[in-house]
A and B are shown apart, each in its own frame.
Chain A
Amino acid sequence: MEAAAAAAAGGGCGSGPPPLLLSEGEQQCYSELFARCAGAAGGGPGSGPPEAARVAPGTATAAAGPVADLFRASQLPAETLHQITELCGAKRVGYFGATQFYIALKLIAAAQSGLPVRIESIKCELPLPRFMMSKNDGEIRFGNPAELHGTKVQIPYLTTEKNSFKRMDDEDKQQETQSPTMSPLASPPSSPPHYQRVPLSHGYSKLRSSAEQMHPALYEARQPLVQPEGSSSGGPGTKPLRHQASLIRSFSVERELQDNSSYPDEPWRITEEQREYYVNQFRSLQPDPSSFISGSVAKNFFTKSKLSIPELSYIWELSDADCDGALTLPEFCAAFHLIVARKNGYPLPEGLPPTLQPEYLQAAFPKPKWDCQLFDSYSESLPANQQPRDLNRMEKTSVKDMADLPVPTQDVTSDDKQALKSTINEALSKDVSEDPATKSGLLPPPPALPPRPCPSQSEQVSEAELLPQLSRAPSQAVESSPAKKDVPYSQPPSKPIRRKFRPENQATENQEPSTAASGPASAATMKPHPTVQKQSSKQKKAIQTAIRKNKEANAVLARLNSELQQQLKEVHQERIALENQLEQLRPVTVL
């Protein structure tokens, strides 16, 4: 850091600073910043870094310390900052008045946009300057906790909505009242997450209403990120209440030890948690991670983010690198990341940042693919597990009546049911929409409902509507089956019938097992039981549970039967009515 003598201003330009035209957002932002810096005027000029201008007493000026910190947080090189302070006139007048401060901010914005640091640069329309604060700076500079209290600088938050800005303001003020001597562990975790909560919750509140999944998961993803950050900010008594507007924490160089450390000023780098989250979202849209999401699916998904269509269109343009109208996993992650960044107020880049390029993403994060593969293989194994069981059942039972359940089949199926149930529960725990009740009811279907003749086929078709309600993995095998009507009755029809039971089971809520129709059925089931009781008690219990479930299924089927009979009657009546009409009309038509 060069030592800049405030008095001996080398570069003060002859003319005064030109009149500044600030947009509304800029105005608000700058005035906030100025208030912060000015409010910290009592914060000790002595500790300020040398390159700041001298502090002049008075309420209308910003203190050098916070101003210098703010400028440094803009991540511009020291030379540039030096130029800026000269140009804005602070050197000349010796203090940062409001005018000088605003000009300086505008110059910072210009420099960050790549424009040369000149007075002419600030005449044009510029984005807001970006400031990334790292806590380490605070520690180093301000060992005195009392100073820290007043040296918080509000980061201009690039959001179009002023509400969020004000909310952050409130949060900021709340934290200001915290005691500065709080232990670092207690304080940093509370304040940054507290702070983070605000922009995140605000930014994502829109998301929350429409895409419920996004917010909680993303928010939780933030928490683990913040904790390590807080714990590493050692230093007794320091209160690094620096707020970070960046989506990714901007850690200083000393923090590279942490695994999920991000690079300063690189909001376009995807962290591990974010990556996992994006991958999960991808999976929810497209189970195969090596395949891609079609344009329409992606459109529906991203529209939920409530960004404007032109912005989404632009994000798509950036992220669909091969311009094929579909998003592969890295492209999807890039798009998602851009959307998240935009929602946090970042302006969209002109081109796809190098850290978001598909090749980079694929190289950097190969691991999630393996997880996906594991998951897929797991879910694939489930229908495979089920099918042999079905075949078993089908081979062993050829009975049309549910009641005549051969004993060995029950043994097999009941044990299998338990095992399969547990595996399915594990595998499907990632499903969001299904409730566990559905899943637990997945497997315990009565073994082998034999394929019925045509009336049952129609039943299956009508019950096919129930299929969409059910969970994905097992139903993959099923959904193809209702289509096959010509296939021999053995395996496929049993599955839809089984599916039928599941919601019915749910609906009936395990009603009483015995109804009039199932009475004789249960009586029939009682017959094989004496033989069963000779077997081990474990089998007995299993069989009894199976029996109970069969009875329930019985009841359900009986009810279904009665309903269908009812429908049949009605249809008959309609047919009779139509035939009557036909009869009446016939003498007329016959010429």
Chain B
Amino acid sequence: MAVCIAVIAKENYPLYIRSTPTENELKFHYMVHTSLDVVDEKISAMGKALVDQRELYLGLLYPTKDYKVMFRKLHNSYTVVMCNPFYNSGDRIQSSRAFDNMVTSMMIQVC
């Protein structure tokens, strides 16, 4: 159960971000941004030789087995969105209902 889900583009701006409205959303946005640092660390740590262009799924930044499935689903949905020729790289992901539905299913159910 996630409280916030975000997809960040290469240029460090969010393509898609959604959080449960009860919390302070700004806090989540900051957290997402700081997590980018961890991603950068990982990439630089891997070294140039090891960077396989196809293996874009870095995996979980922190070991949390519960969320493995969730991240997988996110990644798959993201690739589906990318396959859509009408989606231009760098656009916000606002038109894909499948993506929305998937994210909704993963977010915490706030009654």
Residue positions of A touching B, CB distance < 8 A: 295-296, 298-299, 309-310, 312-314, 316-317, 320, 323-325, 350
Number of interface residues of B (CB under 8 A): 11
Contact A310 B85 (CB under 8 A): no
In whole angstroms, how far apart are the Cα atoms of A310 and B96 in the complex?
8
* CB atoms of A314 and B97 under 8 A apart: yes
- Ranked nearest first, the 5 interchain pairs of A and B with the lowest CB-CB distance are A295-B85, A325-B83, A299-B85, A313-B86, A310-B95
CB distance from B31 to the nearest CB of A (A): 29
Q: With an 8 A cutoff between CB atoms, is B98 at the interface? A: yes
User: Are B85 and A317 neighbours in the complex by a CB distance under 8 Å?
Assistant: no
Whether B83 lies near A313 (C-beta < 8 A) is no
B94 contacts across to A, CB distance below 8 A: 310
Residue pair A298, B95 in contact (C-beta under 8 Å)? no
Complex-state Cα separation, A298 to B84, whole angstroms: 10
20 contacts between A and B (CB under 8 A): A295-B84, A296-B85, A298-B85, A299-B85, A310-B95, A313-B84, A313-B86, A313-B87, A313-B96, A314-B95, A316-B84, A316-B85, A317-B84, A317-B96, A317-B97, A317-B98, A320-B83, A323-B80, A323-B83, A350-B97
What are the residues of chain B within 8 A of A296 when measuring CB–CB?
A: 85
Apart from A310-B95, A317-B95, A320-B83, what 12 extra A-B contacts exist at CB < 8 Å?
A: A295-B83, A295-B84, A295-B85, A298-B85, A299-B85, A309-B95, A312-B86, A314-B95, A317-B84, A317-B96, A317-B97, A350-B97
Question: Smallest distance from the beta carbon of B96 to chain A beta carbons, Å?
Answer: 6
Distance to closest chain A CB from B16 (angstroms): 14
Residues of A within 8 A of B95 (CB): 309-310, 313-314, 317
- Nearest residue (CB) in A for B80 is A323
Q: Return the chain B residue nearest A300 by Cβ.
A: B85
| Across-interface contacts of B84 in A (CB, < 8 A) | 295, 313, 316-317, 320, 325
User: Which chain B residue shows the least CB distance to A307?
Assistant: B86
Q: Chain A interface secondary structure, helix, strand, loop or mixed?
A: helix
Seen from chain B, the residues whose Cβ lies within 8 Å of a Cβ on chain A are: 80, 83-87, 94-98
Shortest Cβ gap from A523 to chain B (Å): 61
Residue from A299, A324, A350 in contact with B86 in the complex, judged by beta carbons closer than 8 Å? A299
Instruction: Kindly report which residue of chain B lies nearest to residue A325, judged by CB atoms.
Output: B83
Kindly provide the distance from the CB of B54 to the nearest chain A CB, expressed in whole angstroms: 16
A206 to chain B, nearest CB (A): 18
Distance between A181 CB and nearest chain B CB, rounded to angstroms: 52
Task: State the Cβ distance, A357 to closest chain B Cβ, in Å.
Answer: 16
Complex interface: chain B residues within 8 A of A310 (CB): 94-95
B81, chain A: closest CB distance, angstroms: 8
Residue of B with least CB distance to A313 = B86
Expressed in whole angstroms, the Cα–Cα distance for A182 and B111 within the complex equals 63
Cα distance, A317 to B96, chains bound together (Å): 7
- Closest B residue to A323 by beta carbon equals B80
Inside 8 A of A314's CB, which chain B residues have their CB? Answer: 95-97
- B76 nearest CB across to chain A (Å): 9
Distance in angstroms from B84 CB to nearest chain A CB is 5
Which residue of chain A has the shortest Cβ distance to B79 in the bound complex? A323
A350 to B97, CA, bound (A): 9
Alpha-carbon gap, A325 to B84, bound state (A): 6
The answer for the CA separation of A355 and B95 in the assembled complex, in Å, is 24
Q: How far is the CA of A320 from the CA of B95 in the complex (A)?
A: 15
- Distance, CA A312 to CA B86, complexed state (A): 7
Residues of B within 8 A of A324 (CB): 83
Give bound CA distance, A323 to B96, whole Å: 13
- CA of A309 to CA of B86, assembled, Å: 7
B85 proximity list for chain A (CB < 8 A): 295-296, 298-299, 316, 325
B15 vs chain A, min Cβ distance (A): 14
Per the bound structure, the CA–CA distance linking A275 and B17 in Å amounts to 41
A320–B80 Cα distance when bound, in Å, is 10
Q: Which residues of B contact A323 (CB under 8 A)?
A: 80, 83
B69 to chain A, nearest CB (A): 19
Q: In the complex, how many angstroms separate the beta carbon of B61 from the nearest chain A beta carbon?
A: 26
Residues on the A chain within 8 Å of B98, using CB: 317
Q: In the bound complex, what is the Cα–Cα distance between A101 and B99 (angstroms)?
A: 40
Neighbouring A residues of B87 by C-beta, 8 Å: 313
Rounded to whole angstroms, the CA-CA distance of A350 and B98 in the bound complex is 10
- Whose C-beta in chain B lies nearest to the C-beta of A302? B86
Closest Cβ–Cβ distance, residue B101 to chain A (whole Å)? 10
Instruction: Report the minimum CB–CB distance from B32 to chain A (whole Å).
Output: 25
> CA–CA, A325 to B86, complex, Å?
10
Chain A's closest residue to B87 (CB) is A313
Chain B: which residue is nearest A299 at the CB level? B85
- In the complex formed, the residue of A with least CB distance to B86 is A313
Please report the C-alpha to C-alpha distance between residue A295 and residue B83 in the assembled complex, in whole angstroms: 8
Min CB gap A412→B, angstroms: 49
Please measure, in the bound complex, the distance between the C-alpha atom of A313 and the C-alpha atom of B94, giving whole angstroms. 10
In the bound assembly, the distance between CA atoms of A541 and B28 in angstroms comes to 88
Contacts of A295 in B (CB 8 A): 83-85
* Complex CA–CA separation, A314 to B95 (angstroms): 7
Distance of A24 Cα from B73 Cα, bound (Å): 41
A255 to B95, CA, bound (A): 40
| Closest partner residue, chain A, to B82 (CB atom) | A325
Counting chain B CB atoms within 10 Å of each CB, the highest count among A295, A317, A324 belongs to A317
Residue numbers in A under 8 Å from B83 (CB-CB) = 295, 320, 323-325
